[in-house]
Every structure is written in C-alpha cells, then in structure tokens.
A and B are shown apart, each in its own frame.
Chain A
Amino acid sequence: MEGGTSPGRRSGPSRTSSGPGRLLVLVYGIFALSATARAAVQIATKFDEAPLAYLLSAFAAVVYICATVGLARSGPGARRLATVAVTVELIGVLVVGTISLAQPDDFPDATVWSGYGDGYGFVPLVLPVLGLLWLRHTRERA
C-alpha cells in the first residue's frame, strides 16, 4: 500500500492527504489560490460591473479554501469540513453552470463555475466528483 506511513497513525479512516489525495489537495490548493486572487481583484477594481458574479467568485473561493484545508488535514472535523465544502462545490458548479447557460444576462462576467467551469477545462466540474469519491474511498479503507 502506498502512502500514509506517518508515525503514530492509528487505525481507522485513512488520511485524505496521502497517496492520490496528495495530488487532489494540490489541485484544490491551486484553485483556492486562483479563485481567491481572482475574486479579490474583481471586487477591488470593478465590483459595480457585476456584483452578483463577483460575490459568487468570492463564495467559490471560500468553498475551495475550506475543501483544501479539510482534505489536507486529518481527523473527523476536517473530514466533515471537506465533505460539506466539496458537496457545496458540486451543487454550486451545477446550479451556477446551468443558470449561466440559461440566463447569460445574469452573469456579465465569468465566475469559476460559469458554463460548468468550461473556462478552466471543466476541472471545476470534475474536481468535486473526484473529491467525494476520494472521501468515500478513504472512509471505507478503515
């Protein structure tokens, strides 16, 4: 078995940051950073142009930060945080993606989740699915 050989590791759910989780957390971290930076620039420089889209960008940034922290840390609290954040992320990308295609006028400027994340190679759509699968996998591998 690869990964997860840190000393003092007890039996129970395996760490979400080991093995494939290391790659997953890295990608989440990159999205957390870029979403935060993007939202900060948007809100600081041109908030009036598309307040809804920019507030949504900021919300998405918080969700990515929570998911990154939850997956990177171990313990039941972190796992709960990650599960909630990744679930919100999946709902967010589906709802925002659908609205952005059905009512483009509501989104004069793009968010991470517009068009199901097509501006980001659909990674925002794939990531929460992988995240939930990984959370389930590490829970079962007790």
Chain B
Amino acid sequence: MIDGLAYAVIAVSLVVGLGIIGLAVANRRPLTLLAYGLVTVEAVALVQVLVAIVQVVRGERPDEPATFVGYALTSLLVSPVGAVWALSDKSKWGTAAAGVAALVLSVLTVRMLQVWG
C-alpha cells in the first residue's frame, strides 16, 4: 500500500459517495453523472489493488495476508455490485444506497491500510 494513494482513494470514495447521497436528498437522479462517479470509484479501487499486487510481486508482504486479500477482493466487488443493486430501485432511497455503496470503499481502504502494516 502507498499511503498517499490510499488517502486519494478515500477522498474519491467520500466525495462521490457523499455527492450521490446529496443528489438523493435533493431528489435528483442524473444517471450519467452517477455512472461517471461510480466508475471513478471502481477505477481508483482497481488502481489501488494493482499497485498492491506489484508491491507483493516485488517482495513486500502485508502483516495479515489473508485478511488483506479479503479486503482487496471486496474493495473491487462491493461498490459496483452494491451500486447496481441499489439503482435498480427507482426511488431516492435507491440513489442514496448507491452513495453508501461508494462510501464503503473508504472504510475498506482504511482497513487495508491497517492490515498492511
């Protein structure tokens, strides 16, 4: 893990997640904008995992390998799967749930930093 990258990932997750929840509160549902935001979240999650893979290949090891792998896989899957499921509900609650799905990446990233060591 690279601290600076992790903080950037957390920032993207927070901005996109809170932004989507803000749109939900305002009862708005701009699907194109939501898609851009959610794809951005997934892209930074993917970059973070790829960087970790490179680090492991170069000989670094997380303190808790099994837990780290679990969080890394979850970080790639939870936001997109959660967001797609959330947006299949047409109400503002569905939009808000997509925002929460994006926020999950920030929690997972904090945990990944902790178990990396």
Contact = CB atoms under 8 A, between A and B. Distances in A.
A27 B78 contact: no
Please indicate which of the listed interface residues A2, A23, A29 has the most CB atoms of chain B within 10 Å of its own CB. A23
Interface residues on B, range: 10 to 19
A36 to B, nearest CB: 10
Contacts of A44: 66
A33 B101 CA distance: 13
A41 interface: yes
B89 A19 contact: yes
Contacts of A23: 86, 93-94, 96-97, 100
Interface string A30-45: 1001100110110011
A5 B85 CA distance: 16
Contacts of A87: none
Contact of B93 (A5, A22, A45): A22
B103 to A, nearest CB: 10
Main secondary structure of the interface of B (DSSP, over half): helix
Given A30-B78, A30-B82, A33-B74, A17 B89 contact: yes
Contact of A18 (B66, B82, B89, B101): B89
Interface of A: 2-3, 5, 17-23, 26-27, 29-30, 33-34, 37-38, 40-41, 44-45
19 contacts: A2-B91, A2-B93, A3-B93, A18-B89, A19-B91, A21-B93, A22-B86, A22-B91, A22-B97, A23-B86, A26-B86, A26-B100, A27-B100, A29-B85, A30-B82, A30-B104, A33-B78, A37-B74, A44-B66
Interface string B70-104: 10001000100010011001111110110011001
Nearest to A17: B89
Interface of B: 66-67, 70, 74, 78, 82, 85-86, 89-94, 96-97, 100-101, 104
Contacts of A26: 82, 85-86, 97, 100-101
B20 to A, nearest CB: 12
Nearest first, the 5 A-B pairs at minimum CB distance are A2-B91, A22-B89, A3-B91, A23-B97, A37-B70
Nearest to B108: A34
B73 to A, nearest CB: 9
A45 B66 contact: yes
Contacts of B85: 22, 26, 29
Contacts of A38: 67, 70
